[in-house]
Chain A
Amino acid sequence: MGSNRTMLLIAPAVLIIGIFMLIPMFIAVAYSFMTANPYGGVTPPATFDAYVQFLFQRDFDDSLVYSPDYIFIILRSVYLAAATTVVCLVLGLPVAWYIVCQTERRRQALLFFITLPFWINTLIRTYCWILILRDEGIANNLLRQLGIIAQPLPLLYHDGSILLGLIYTFLPFMVLPIYSTLERIDPRLIEAAYDLYADRIAVFRRVIWPLAKPGALAGASLVFAPALGSFLAPDLLGGGKKLLIGSLIQMQFTSSRNWPFGAALSTVIAVSILLVLMLRARRSGRQESRA
């Protein structure tokens, strides 16, 4: 009786997690074991072909040759996503701290500005960066008119511009969780640290950072995972010259019409991220029990 009612009460939560999270994941994993339909979608029979394709190339004589191309694409994507996360952390922490230090009314205003970009479509905002960065763009024109440069700087279509786009897109996801943890720090703790002879660096290192860390970790997860799968910034600002995993997956579902391979790539990434998170949870769990 009691357990039935408990079941009923948690049913909405289970339903939402199921519909919005587990079922799509399950479908993606299932599709990765199917055969590609040349017209899109998947058909039976079940096969490991997609995963084979991930590691091997099929030669003309139908023999499999090991090819690390896709692994390199993933590694490069991981590298860019990691760089994005680090830069977002380095930029986001001071921004969040600055907002926390303001009066209540200014805080509300600043938080509003942080979330303002969400009101405009990411595609359009990314296009705006092209207008700013291209040879005849705002940045180059300004620098030329100021006489700082004669020839336009190559601001677009390389890893730097991709990184810029990714940082721009995901910075709010770092600022907001860090802000929410910083906001909850009792200012008396900082006063107490100063009172106990800590200098500014020690106050940050020993009091603010340890208390902000959960927010920073949440922010890192919120930035890293979508940055890894992102394809807008790489396609538009990178010029699609070098493939990143997000674009590769996107292509499998559109032009290449190889859904199982796209699903397999997604699954590989999801499983890798899951492993990293589990490792981290185990490590922090160990630290907790040590303390």
Chain B
Amino acid sequence: MIDVRGVSKSFVTRDAGTVDALKGVSIEIGDNEFFTLLGPSGCGKTTLLRLIGGFEAPSAGAIRIGMLDVAALPPQKRPVNTVFQSYALFPHMTVAENVAFGLEMQNWSPADADARVKQTLAMVRLEELAGRRPSQLSGGQQQRVALARALAPKPSVLLLDEPLSALDLKLRKEMQNELKRLQQETGITFVLVTHDQEEALAMSDRIAVMRDGSVLQVGDPRDIYDNPNCRFVADFIGEANLISGAVLGRNAAHTVVVRPERVEIAPALATHAGRIRGTILSVTFLGLDTLYEVTITPDAKLRARIRDSRETFRRGDTVVVDWADDFERELVN
């Protein structure tokens, strides 16, 4: 559906000189896919989204949407609609007028446009608020209007720029389900930008993890979680213990990644050597789980997230730490 090929983007700024926001990024996004660009702020994810939307032109590379080479097309000529981070609802129009705007610009007949507005507002459950102004709506409602407005013209791709970041936690969870449902109902390709890895894992079919203008890894959420291909991805997605190979008596140039929930700890007995010995540094009770911090060497610490443990440990206890071989990944630094 979307084919991004070797795309770079540089900005010239007054104080920092030339900034390379994207460095030769290539991504393929499939039909009906919920695709997420995930990364910390400044990684280039929003720039990539704006390039797909047509708000910026790439410095190098090609972007295709369907069969269409869009690199030279302005936003109004692309079959793509955007949900903006701040929603960007037209303050002088009612909810219905906002949603109808794209249809009007595409010269839908008034009867068709009317029906489509009703249908889209029903899809986001806002029928009763059609006559309100954006300023009379809550943040969550504004978010739904922005969604309806972008979905109304039946784009083949919907771009979402951190759409949930302004909502509180409960609403955010709700909207995550809502977005997933809308994507499945409409069959439209969704491209979401977020810095929230939980959000990315919960909603996406596939995720591209980005840093410093490059894509580090692309894969489905489970794959990225279980098989991170570098320290950054391992650390950024979920929680991870990054252990230097030297501590485990292996190649010092390697890092061993193991998730805290995969780590087991046991009392230090002569009969069970385990993988490595350590001392409990802190115990945090989390309800279902208990989180232990274990000191292995003065510089190396490990976190273990233990569920339903029959044995509890206290600060200062000497323990052995272990994990199944399947659950570790050894990365070359």
Which B residue sits closest to A105, measured CB to CB? Answer: B14
In the complex, the answer to whether B86 meets A193 with C-beta atoms within 8 Å is no
Report A-chain residues with C-beta under 8 Å of the C-beta of B75: 191, 194-195
Q: Which residue in chain A gives the minimum CB-CB distance to B94?
A: A291
Measured between beta carbons, the chain A residues less than 8 angstroms from B102 are 196-197
- A5 at interface, CB cutoff 8 A: no
Q: Please state if A196 and B105 are interface contacts (CB–CB under 8 Å).
A: yes
Q: Which residues of B contact A210 (CB under 8 A)?
A: 92
Which of A6-14, A87-95, A198-206, A241-249 is the contact stretch?
A: A198-206
Chain B: interface size category: 20 to 34
Judging by beta carbons under 8 Å apart, are A207 and B90 in contact? yes
Smallest beta-carbon distance B130→chain A, Å = 13
The interface residues of chain A lying within 8 Å CB-to-CB of B90 are 189, 192-193, 206-207
Known: A202-B105, A206-B101, A291-B94. Is A194-B76 also a contact (CB below 8 A)? yes
Shortest B113–chain A CB gap in Å is 12
Q: Does residue A188 face the partner (Cβ distance < 8 Å to B)?
A: yes
B153 interface hit (Cβ, 8 Å): yes
> Smallest CB–CB gap between A79 and chain B, Å?
32
Number of contacting residues on A, CB 8 A? 19
A59 to chain B minimum Cβ distance, whole angstroms, is 58
The CA-CA distance from A291 to B94 in the complex, in Å, is 8
B84 CB-CB contact with A under 8 Å: yes
Also in contact, A197 and B76, with CB within 8 A (given A191-B55, A202-B105, A206-B101): yes
B149 to chain A: which residues have CB within 8 Å? Answer: 192, 196
Give complex CA distance A191, B101 in Å. 13
A61 within 8 A of partner (CB): no
Does A62 make an interface contact (CB < 8 A)? no
Q: Identify whether the interface residues of A are mostly helix, strand, loop, or mixed.
A: helix
* Bound CA span A193–B89, Å: 10
A251-291 interface with B by 8 A CB criterion: 291
B281: shortest Cβ distance to chain A, in Å? 47
Per-residue contact bits, chain B 74-118, to A (CB 8 Å; 1 contact, 0 not):
111000111010101111101000000110011000000000000
CB closest residue in chain A, given B81 = A195
A195-B82, A197-B76 as given contacts; A189 in contact with B101, CB under 8 Å: no
The one of B14, B54, B82 in contact with A192, judged by C-beta atoms closer than 8 angstroms, is: B82
Question: A196–B84 contact, CB under 8 A?
Answer: no
> B81–A196 contact, CB under 8 A?
yes
Quick one: CB contact mask for B1-42 with A, threshold 8 Å, 1 for yes? 000000000000010000000000000000000000000000
Residues of A199-242 whose CB lies within 8 A of B: 199, 202, 206-207, 210-211
Given the contacts A206-B101, A210-B92, A211-B92, A199 and B84 also touching, CB distance less than 8 Å: no
CB-based contact B76/A198 at 8 Å:
yes
Flag if A191 contacts B105 (CB, 8 Å).
Answer: no
Give the distance in Å from the alpha carbon of A241 to the alpha carbon of B75 in the complex: 57
The reply to whether the CB of B44 lies closer than 8 angstroms to some CB of chain A is: no
Candidate in A193, A194, A198 with the most chain B CB atoms within 10 angstroms: A194
Q: Can you give 30 A-B contacts (C-beta < 8 A)?
A: A186-B88, A188-B84, A189-B88, A191-B55, A191-B75, A191-B88, A192-B82, A192-B90, A192-B149, A193-B90, A194-B55, A195-B53, A195-B54, A195-B76, A195-B81, A195-B150, A196-B76, A196-B81, A196-B105, A196-B149, A196-B150, A196-B153, A197-B76, A197-B106, A198-B101, A198-B105, A199-B105, A211-B91, A211-B92, A291-B94
Which 10 A-B pairs rank lowest in CB-CB distance, beginning with the nearest?
Answer: A196-B102, A188-B88, A197-B105, A192-B88, A194-B75, A210-B92, A197-B76, A195-B75, A195-B82, A198-B105
12 more contacts with CB within 8 A, not counting A202-B105, A211-B92, are A191-B88, A192-B90, A192-B149, A193-B90, A193-B101, A194-B54, A195-B75, A195-B76, A197-B102, A197-B105, A198-B105, A206-B101
